[in-house]
Structure 1
Amino acid sequence: RRHLALIIPLLALLFSLESIMLVNRAVNKHENKLSDSYSIVIASKNALTLDKIQSFIREAKELKAIAPDYMMSELKKDLSRESLEAIQRELPFFYSLKLSSFPDEDRLAKINTTLSKLNGVTKVESFTKSHSQVYKLLLIIKGSIIVFASLIAILSYILMVKQIEIWKFEHSDRMEIMAFLGAPAWMRNGILFRLAFIDSIISAIAIIVGMAYLINYHKMQEVLTTLEVTNDIFHMGSDFIILLFTSVLVSIVSVVFVIIKQKDL
């Protein structure tokens, strides 16, 4: 029971941190997929090159010419070869522009304005409405998770401090005797550091094992597949190191905070 009182808030704190890391990775992967599939259509009277566009738009990654083959094939039925060639000479150039990163709404508006001002450009279709809906949904997901996880982390830290204060009270007689014998502060409070360190290791292991099971659970696999996210968003080795370091650091800071607080009193 003594250990559970600190392990439970530590588990909540570490779960919040792992959730933020997983969601950020999932959203980044989804943004990359959106960036790969998203393109801006440009109609221009003059031929355009990628180098020219990149001089104005740093995110420009790939420029492909779009041939109006379907329209010309339909006109072939009714027009002569000379007429088709004349029409083709009058047709604007059509391009598909891909970006290196998924832009936010403000940046997309600036890109649209910049492209419209290029010499010869007559029309730019950036699909702003569908783009905004997708991007706003991503922002809502990221923001909600971060806010919720942050609140849990704050409450968990408060509970940890309270539990360490209880531990200090339980061992106060022993600490007073050690202080009377001239023991330094770190030695007197060694029991607090040991308990916090042990619970930190247990919590980090529990979270990483739990997450490994959850990510590979078939129901979770179905959810990830539906969201077009693969389970490689979970990095077991590096995540364990991050969780362990965070857990130990927060526990030590909590113990030091309680010690300093008690001195002030």
Structure 2
Amino acid sequence: MNSFKIHFSFIFTLFIICFCFQFNFFINELTKDYEKNLNKDYSVVLVSEQEVQAVDLASIEYFSSIKELDPSEILEKIKKDITKANLEALKSKLPKFYSISFTKFINESEIIKIKKQLLKIPNVLKVETFSKTHLKIYKLLNIIKLISYICLICISILSIAVFLNQIKIWKFEHENRIYILNLFGASFFQRASTMLKIVFIDNIICFAILFAIFFNFNNISYIKELLAKFDIELPVIDFLPSLIEISSYTLIASLFCVLVVMFKVKRQ
């Protein structure tokens, strides 16, 4: 029963820490995907007297592509109110409209810089960046990222505190046994073998539990429905690499705890 408590308390501690880090990874990936999708829908409208080609925008930062907008829909709406001759005259006098897309979700300073660059192009009459709406979304994403990073820092501090507390527990539970083994001349690894086994087994169990939770995470309907309420589509995320990375870090941290315990007992 005592052995079960030892395993359960450490597995629970590992699970909470790993789950928090993994959930933070999920939030970051979700934000990146949402930002990527927003960038697909965002474009700057350029109005020019003359034709503008992609080569004219080669020096524009983060430039991806340019597409000419067809003004026929606007003309279609007003053709009933004007004569055919006036309509043709209007067509010939209309400037050219272009939609410009970018390789990334540009921020406030980048929008200002890009607008200035576009206005310097000869024959460009106007540049519409739709910055008000765009920047609201950008600031919201930044707030989400900031909260995510703050949570990560808090989790890291909590992890250190929890592992330090675990050190004290292990020291109390194993110091007598280690002391006796030390009297009989047992080697360092012989004295640490029990705790090393606990650490290794508990980390494997924790990894297995996390893998079971996140393996099918992309197909959980409740998560999809919850995100759909905010017009967010759940991206397909490969959780395995991050799970392996997080579990490796916790294993290293756990082994470090064992070493600390062993050196503390040895000094006594």
Please classify the TM superposition score into its range, dividing by the shorter chain length.
0.7 to 0.9
Cα-to-partner distance string for 1:90-127 (whole Å, 9 max, x where unaligned): 32211000111111222222112211222221111111
Aligned to 1:94: 97
Aligned to 2:37: 33
1:55 to 44, 59, 64: 59
Aligned to 1:11: 15
Query: Is residue 2:194 matched to residue 1:194?
Result: no
Paired with 2:80 and 2:220, the residues of 1 have a C-alpha distance of 57
Aligned to 1:256: 259
Aligned to 1:78: 82
Aligned to 1:218: 221
C-alpha deviation, 1:76, in angstroms? 6.5
Give the SS at the match of 1:96.
strand
Give the SS at the match of 1:78.
coil
Cα-to-partner distance string for 1:169-213 (whole Å, 9 max, x where unaligned): 221122223333443433322222221222211222222223346
Q: 1:45 to 1:253 in 2, by over 3 A?
A: farther
Asked whether the equivalents of residues 167 and 261 of structure 2 are also in contact (C-alpha less than 8 Å), the reply is yes
Asked whether the equivalents of residues 10 and 203 of structure 1 are also in contact (C-alpha less than 8 Å), the reply is yes
Flag structure 2 segments of 5+ consecutive residues without an equivalent.
none
Count of residue pairs brought into register by the alignment:
262
Aligned to 1:208: 211
Asked whether the equivalents of residues 63 and 95 of structure 1 are also in contact (C-alpha less than 8 Å), the reply is yes
1:118 to 117, 121, 124: 121
Asked whether the equivalents of residues 164 and 192 of structure 1 are also in contact (C-alpha less than 8 Å), the reply is no
Paired with 1:202 and 1:95, the residues of 2 have a C-alpha distance of 57
C-alpha deviation, 1:263, in angstroms? 6.2
Asked whether the equivalents of residues 167 and 260 of structure 2 are also in contact (C-alpha less than 8 Å), the reply is no
C-alpha deviation, 1:231, in angstroms? 5.1
Give the letter aligned to residue 28 of structure 2.
N
Paired with 1:71 and 1:231, the residues of 2 have a C-alpha distance of 37
Asked whether the equivalents of residues 16 and 153 of structure 1 are also in contact (C-alpha less than 8 Å), the reply is no
How large is the RMSD of aligned CA atoms in angstroms?
Answer: 2.4
Give the letter aligned to residue 145 of structure 1.
S
Cα-to-partner distance string for 1:62-87 (whole Å, 9 max, x where unaligned): 11111221343324642343x44443
Aligned to 1:140: 143
In the TM superposition, 1:124-203 aligns within 5 A as: 124-203=127-206
Q: 1:203 to 1:153 in 2, by over 3 A?
A: farther
Aligned to 2:48: 44
Give the letter aligned to residue 17 of structure 2.
L
Instruction: Calculate percent identity across the aligned residue pairs.
Output: 29
Paired with 2:209 and 2:106, the residues of 1 have a C-alpha distance of 38
2:25 to 21, 27, 37: 21
Give the SS at the match of 1:2.
helix
Give the SS at the match of 1:70.
helix
Cα-to-partner distance string for 1:39-59 (whole Å, 9 max, x where unaligned): 1101112221112212232x1
C-alpha deviation, 1:13, in angstroms? 1.2
Give the SS at the match of 2:236.
helix
